[in-house]
Amino acid sequence: MGQEESRSEEMDLAQIQELCILFMKECPSGALHLHEFKRIFGVPSSSAEESLYIETIFRSFDTNQDNTLDFLEYVAALHLILRGNLEDRLKWSFKMYDKDGNGKLDRHEVKRLIKIIHKIKFQTSSDIAMTPSQICDRIFELVDENHDGQISLSEFMEGAQKDQWVMNLLQLDINATGWVIHNCDISA
């Protein structure tokens, strides 16, 4: 058991070194700026919706709010995206929706992100016949258990885990796995 822990620890150190090398290659200044973050995730400058979505994600990872991601913020972001458990990913998604940071989601906050997601995911698909307003209303019907017009973190977590449709809409996905696997083998 001690050897397994040691190998696992060594692997983590090697992975961190690999991430550091990749980070310094992508960001020689030691800081990842928003425009670099957009480039890394392939966000075209012509897409206002995707740009706003990525900016929101970037801000959520910029914990010291200096408009850059340093190496620790970068590693924390990658860890959450690639290896975070469902609970951590849902808490992060909640934080993304909670624009005013008051710990509750109102219809405006939910509809804001749903509009962006709707335009990105369903702009060329006829799979979904609901408007963002209808999606928002359905989410509140299914998740707002006490019907106070706000969704708490616990309602968000429980609602997402009870209904796959809600989970697909509430759990944000930035599709970073492919980029990371392509650039750096940290899945071992």
At residue 152, the 3 state secondary structure works out as strand
Token pair 């609602």 is found at 159
Phi, psi of 68, deg, nearest 5? -145, 160
d(CA 17, CA 94): 31
Cα–Cα distances in angstroms (integers) from residue 43 to residues 29, 69, 96, 100, 129, in the given order = 21, 17, 18, 25, 26
d(CA 135, CA 102): 23
Higher pLDDT, 29 or 6: 29
CATH topology of domain 2-84+175-183: Recoverin; domain 1 (1.10.238)
Residues of the chain with CATH 1.10.238.10: 2-84+175-183, 86-170
Contact by Cβ (8 Å): 61, 69: yes
Confidence of residue 81 (pLDDT cuts 50, 70, 90): confident
pLDDT of the residue at 117: 78
Higher pLDDT, 123 or 162: 162
| 60: Cβ contacts below 8 Å, ≥ 6 apart | 92, 95, 96
CB atoms within 10 A of CB 144: 19
- Give the count of alpha carbons within 13 A of 166, CB side only: 22
Q: What is the pLDDT of residues 126-169, one digit of tens each?
A: 555 788 899 899 999 999 999 999 999 999 999 988 988 888 87
Could you tell me the CATH superfamily of domain 86-170?
EF-hand (1.10.238.10)
Confidence of residue 2 (pLDDT cuts 50, 70, 90): very low
Phi, psi of 128, deg, nearest 5? -120, 125
Higher pLDDT, 179 or 112: 112
Portion of the chain with pLDDT greater than 90, in percent: 23
Specify the pTM. Answer: 0.71
Q: What is the pLDDT of residues 12-71, one digit of tens each?
A: 677 777 877 888 887 888 898 998 888 777 776 667 777 888 888 888 889 898 999 998
pLDDT of the residue at 108: 93
pLDDT of the residue at 102: 94
pLDDT of the residue at 54: 82
